Structure 1
């Protein structure tokens, strides 16, 4: 996807801007560009983007493969505008959904100006990291190796861990930077390095915009996040959220959403005894959506069984999972 098509794909809603809003002209020496955040699942890519942008636009959880769509977060400073592209974790896929996620992550490598390859610095470099490194080597896109989770490094093995990634970086002639997305340690230095590596360019988005994702999409992700946090391991990866209706009034926003699962047993887990689990999910998600829109929300959730939806390209497309170009 070219820069122009990425920007032109924006939809108009509460997060996005109407066509008549002017994008200012960038001052001399202003830098801009697209930075792809790439890595294995669960290395903290979404947490990092949220921290850099200064607002929660991507869901996070301890469960791997949380991110399913290629998300874009926008950071604008007096010196630059960085469009972060948060990608699904690169892993060995086990179903059609996994294939779509990995293909979209790989496509992002070729559609950005700079890659931030994020690894988990709380453990030594592994085969998954080397696999991602091999993919990046096939691209002409410049790469920075980012060591995240430095706050979680065991003191007794920190030198060994650092050395394993130093070898990976030197082998590929990559610059390396250490930081913690959780604590914010060294993130200003990371931001400065990213800006340094970008070329001069225009504003691609209005300076006050933090994401180009539709509000409905983020509502669905906030619901899915609560399911990831509250239910058993067998449920989260089998869940897809469809926002069926959003009705806004001056006093309240009513949201109707369907939680799609693959099996009746998963539906039972989500509903819970006496509907308690679904009520808990709905209450927690409603609080997050209220923060998103800064207003009162009524949220109604339904659960629907869609057998083997992750294996069906048609059902995946209906639920918003398509291979991006």
Structure 2
């Protein structure tokens, strides 16, 4: 049989139409574990953990008087322990559970119920349990930071109760506002690694407690020399070291942004140490190690919310500004 020549141009279109008719819609891709990102965040989590019972404990401990050294270190160590249990118990759910009114998360995951070992956190494709652990270290250091405002003025048992309450009713809701889909997140608030959630949050709490508790009993009556400058410098150096996990790890991926955050974190700390030292020298005609390490910590605090968004030039300015504000 002879094919009509005018049908020949239509054959490709007819074949395509037949293919379309038999196409089955593709199912959404299931997130798969990213091994490199997982290893990176595991290391970052360990670094941030080190900041509380080691870095912060020694930094604060060295600044206080000898008779309060062990108590001060114990406040940071036990703050980490209590905050960890509260976070696993219910605070993680309040921070990252299903949004309720843009204010708080629902109690979807008490004791992490419902989170399997195979569940993947979409950002970074890391295990959700690893994300829980990473955020746990942030909650712990946030409340431990407050201890510097109440040293020598609060009972140890009262402090432990405060830790549990504060992580529950203050830290978890604010973490939800910024990182858990709350109203600040929807408003476009940017906080890469905890400038609001950790540092402003803890700073305000520390200020309120200091005003409530008042001065130390012998303030102005007895000399208050630091127990050990060596411990303070060692603790500050451990904080500097751990901060790489704090800031770079907040990217939740081993990529260029994490590398940039790593670089600007170090640059801000270095500039903070230098700026504090120079200003201290011109104001008091001397340079101190406590001042240098305090400047480094001030630079680290200042760069935290911006670590994933700025370059080296901006980090130098931010580090210097943090040191100036901290000293003056």
**TM-score (normalised: structure 1):** 0.27
Normalized per residue, the structure richer in helix is 2
Normalized per residue, the structure richer in strand is 1
**TM-score (normalised: structure 2):** 0.26
